[in-house]
Structure 1
Amino acid sequence: MTSSGNKVPSTTETTPVDTDPGPVELHARNVSFDVADVDLHWIPGHPYASNLITALNLVLPEGERWFVKTFNEALPLVRDDELAASMRGFIGQEAMHADAHDKVVWNFVTEHGIDPEPYHRQMEWLFRKLLAPKGTESAKAQRKHLIERLWLIAAIEHYTAVLGDFALNSSWLEVDADPAMADLFLWHGAEEVEHRTVAHEVAVYFGDSYLRRGRAMLVAMPALLFVVFRGGRYISLNDPSGAIKQLDRFLQYRRGVRFNVVPKISDILLASLTYFRPGFDPVEVGDTAQAVAYLAKSPATRKAS
C-alpha cells in the first residue's frame, strides 16, 4: 500500500519486481543493528513521524512474544506438515523481531532520556494478562479461546503486512532517514510481507469462520490504532527537545503523509475494510518478490549471512 498525494516520490531499490519467486521457505535471520549514535528524530524534519514509528516498536516485542506463545500452543495440534513448517518459520521470525526491537529500540529510547517503562507495563498487562490462555477452563473452552486468539493474531498480522508494505514503498531513504534505523524497520516490514499468509492459514485450519474473522478485526482495528497513537503521544510529550503538543502532532502527521514517511489513516482503514470481503486472501497485500529483494540486500541480513 502506497500513500497517495506524496510530494516526495519514492526512488528506493525496493520497487516491486515482476518476477514471482513462488513459495518462500520462512526462516529467522539473526540480524543486529547499531543505532547508538542515531538521533531520536531519525527521519530529519519529521520529529513526530520519528516518534510515532519508534513508539510502534515499543508495542511490538510483547505482541510478538504473545504470537510465539500462542503458535507454540497450537503447533502440536497441527497435522498438516506444510502448515507446521510455515508456523515454525513464522515463530522464528517473530521471536527475532521481538529480540531485535528489545535490544535496539528499548535502549535507543532510554538513551534519549525517555523512560519507556510505564508504557511497557501496559503492553505487558495487555499481552501477558488480558490475552493469556484461560488455564482454569475445560478443554473445549480452552480450544475455543485458542481459536479466538489465532483469529486475533491473523487480524493483527493483516495490519503488520499493510505497514510492512508501506515501509517498503516509503520515502524514508529519500528524505535522508538514518540508514541503520530505516533498515531495522524495512527488514521487519519485509519479513511481515514475506510471512503475511501464515497466521490467516493457521486460523482457517483451526476454525474457518467469517464471523470469527470479522469479529477479530473489529477488535484489532481500534485497539491497534489506540495503542500506537498513544505510544506516539507518550514519546512526543516526553521528547527531550520539547514536548510536541496535540495540534503540532496533527500537523506534523499530515506533513509526514505528504512526504510518504507515515501512512494515511484512510489507507489503513481501507485495508481494514478489504479484510471483511468474503473472498479475501492475505496474498493480496504487498509483494513477495519486493520483500525478498529487500531482504537480499538489507545491510543487516547481508552481515548476518
Structure 2
Amino acid sequence: MTHAAKASQHMGNADDIIPRDIRFGILDNAQRHWLEDDLIKTILIDGLSIFLPEGERFFIRSLKHYGPKLQDRELAAEINGYSVQEAYHTREHEDYNRALVKLGYDVEKMEKPIRQGFEIVKNPLHRLSITCAIEHMTATLSSLTLRHPELLEKAAPAYRRLWMWHALEELEHKAVALDVLNAATPGMSRWTRYWVRVLGMNGTLFPFLALFLRNVPIYARTDGVKTGFRFWGRFFWVTMVAPGYWRRCLPSVLRYYVPGFDPRNSDDQELMRKGREWLANNLPPAPTSSSARPSA
C-alpha cells in the first residue's frame, strides 16, 4: 500500500468514528524516560497507560449493555465503532504495559487497585455515569495533546505516534457515552440526569487522582528515585506551572459540572482534521496490521 493510500485510510469525515488497526511496537521499543529524558514528564503519561486496559474494557461493557435497548440505531452503530476503537486501544496499552514490566516497573502492583475499583461497580447506570466522566477526562487530555503537539515533540517516535493516535480517536468518540446516557434515561428529569452525571465525575476524579499519586512512588522507586520534598516540588511545577499539564486541563474538567454540558459545544473539528493529517504523515514505517478486529 502506498503512503498516500495509507493516509486516506485514516482520514474520514469530520464526524466519523474510525477504528484504526495500527500496531505501534512499544514492547519492541521499550524505553525509560522516553519524553525529554525526564522521569516526571514520562511518568505523567506512562501512569495513564496503567489505567487504560482495565478502563477501556469497562467502557466497552458499560456502553454495550445499552446498545440493544436503544431506539436510535445510529447511536447503536456509534457504540460499535466506539467499542472497536477502544478494543484496539486496549490491545496497544496492554503491549505498552508489558513494555513497562520489561523495564522493571511493578505494573501489577500499580494496576491491582484500579482493577478492583472497576470490579466493584455493578449497577449499569453507575458504570455508564463513570464512563461518561472518564471519557470527558480523556477527551480533555486528548484536546491538549492535539492542540499542543509540541508537548510531545521530543518524545521517542513510537510513543509519540501512539499517544497522538489515541488522542485523535478519543476526540472522535467523545460524545458517544453522554449520548447513550441521555438516550438510556428518557424518563429521567433533566436535573436528576445532571446529578447522575456529576456524581459519576466526583466518584471518578478523586479516586483517579488518589490512585495516580499512589503509583508515582512505586514507579519512581524502580529508577532509584526517592520521592521526597524536592521530587514532589518539581512534580507540582510540571503539572501545575510549566508546562502545567494538569493546570491546562482544569478549565475543561470543570465545564463538566455546568448544567447542560454538551461535549459538542467544544468544536474540535479542525483539531481532529489536523490530527488525522499528522497521523497520516507519521505512520510507522512498516505497520503490522490485521484485518481481524480484536474482541470488544
Q: Output the TM-score relative to the length of structure 2.
A: 0.81
Change (3 A) 1:148 1:113: closer
Distance in 2 between the 1:115 and 1:155 partners?
A: 27
2:255–2:261 CA contact under 8 A, matched in 1: yes
Aligned to 1:171: 150
Aligned to 1:110: 101
1:55–1:228 CA contact under 8 A, matched in 2: yes
Deviation at 1:62, TM superposition (A): 0.1
Distance in 1 between the 2:268 and 2:157 partners?
A: 22
Mark the runs of 5 or more structure 1 residues left unpaired by the alignment: 1-20, 134-144
Q: Does 1:51 align with 2:64?
A: no
Distance in 2 between the 1:171 and 1:284 partners?
A: 25
Select between 199-208 and 222-231 the one with higher mean Cα deviation: 222-231
Distance in 2 between the 1:279 and 1:71 partners?
A: 21
Aligned to 2:233: 250
Aligned to 2:176: 198
Distance in 2 between the 1:286 and 1:130 partners?
A: 35
Distance in 2 between the 1:229 and 1:171 partners?
A: 25
Change (3 A) 1:246 1:171: farther
Aligned to 2:130: 152
Aligned to 1:287: 268
Q: Output the TM-score relative to the length of structure 1.
A: 0.79
1:162–1:271 CA contact under 8 A, matched in 2: yes
Aligned to 2:206: 222
Deviation at 1:217, TM superposition (A): 1.5
Deviation at 1:219, TM superposition (A): 1.3
Distance in 1 between the 2:171 and 2:151 partners?
A: 18
Distance in 1 between the 2:52 and 2:40 partners?
A: 19
SS at match of 1:279: coil
Mark the runs of 5 or more structure 2 residues left unpaired by the alignment: 1-11, 291-296
Which residue identity lines up with residue 122 of structure 1 in the other structure? P
Superposed, 1:123-138 pairs within 5 Å as: 123-127=114-118, 129-131=119-121, 133=122
1:221–1:272 CA contact under 8 A, matched in 2: no
Distance in 1 between the 2:260 and 2:284 partners?
A: 35
Deviation at 1:172, TM superposition (A): 3.1
SS at match of 2:66: helix
1:48–1:253 CA contact under 8 A, matched in 2: no
Deviation at 1:43, TM superposition (A): 0.9
Give the fraction of aligned pairs with identical amino acids, expressed as a percent: 27
* Aligned residue pair count: 266
Distance in 2 between the 1:64 and 1:164 partners?
A: 15
Higher normalized contact order (CA 8 Å, seq sep 6+, divided by chain length): 1
2:144–2:249 CA contact under 8 A, matched in 1: no
Distance in 2 between the 1:121 and 1:162 partners?
A: 25
**Residues 150-187 of structure 1: CA deviation (Å, up to 9, x unaligned):** 1221111110000111111243343x211110111111
Distance in 1 between the 2:235 and 2:248 partners?
A: 18
1:42–1:178 CA contact under 8 A, matched in 2: yes
Aligned to 1:40: 32
Distance in 2 between the 1:280 and 1:258 partners?
A: 27
The match for 2:245 among 246, 263, 266 is: 263
**Residues 180-232 of structure 1: CA deviation (Å, up to 9, x unaligned):** 10111111111111111111111111125111111111212212222223233
